[in-house]
Structure 1
């Protein structure tokens, strides 16, 4: 079963909101975006625009993994602005990320954040 097939409609909405937050929000500085995500801001924006359709499932898999992972684990300092981009809580995003990855549990430690990087 693919990651997309494991997602609920709410999961798909959460992921789209997270893609938008990564692209349009204050969470990741331009100079560090590609290093954190493995993709440019424009590449993530294009994925968001066609979400959930993709011509490259492997690329989409890595992008979704990295965006959700970095929103949860990168110390961006903008937690108070999260509600401007998504109604999902960090716990809901963590559950969505775990389902996306096919993991039984979400490791919220720093080690877990680095282990999930792709």
Structure 2
């Protein structure tokens, strides 16, 4: 079973909102985007546009992992603007990321964030 198939409709919506927020929001500066995500902003936008379909499951998996992980763990300083991009809480995003990764729960520490890098 693929990660997409494991997800609920709510999870899929959370992920879509996170992908759009990463691309269109103020959370990640252009100069650092590729370093943080492992993808360019345009590449993440293409994954978001095709969501939940995707031609390359590996890239989709890595893109979702990177976006959700960085939204939760990167100190972007825009938490007060999150409601402009998503109705989800950080706890809901963390649960969706754990399910995406096939894990029972997510290590919310800085070490956990770094351990989730691919």
Same fold (TM over 0.5): yes
Q: CA RMSD of the aligned region, Å?
A: 0.4
Take 1:91 and 1:59, find their aligned partners in 2: how far apart are those partners?
25
Look up the match of 2:51: 51
Structure 1: tracts of 5 or more residues without a match: none
Q: How big is each residue's C-alpha offset from its partner over 1:68-106, in whole Å with a ceiling of 9 and x where there is no partner?
A: 000000000000000000000000000000000001111
Take 2:49 and 2:93, find their aligned partners in 1: how far apart are those partners?
20
Q: How big is each residue's C-alpha offset from its partner over 1:5-42, in whole Å with a ceiling of 9 and x where there is no partner?
A: 11000000000000000000000000000000000000
TM-score normalised according to structure 2 size? 0.99
Take 1:47 and 1:62, find their aligned partners in 2: how far apart are those partners?
10
Look up the match of 1:103: 103
Q: Which runs of 4+ in 1 moved over 4 A?
A: none
Pairing 1:11–2:11 present: yes
TM-score normalised according to structure 1 size? 0.99
Q: How do 1:22-61 and structure 2 match up within 5 A? A: 22-61=22-61
Look up the match of 2:69: 69
Structure 2: tracts of 5 or more residues without a match: none
Look up the match of 1:115: 115
What's the secondary structure of 1:108's corresponding residue?
A: coil
Look up the match of 2:84: 84
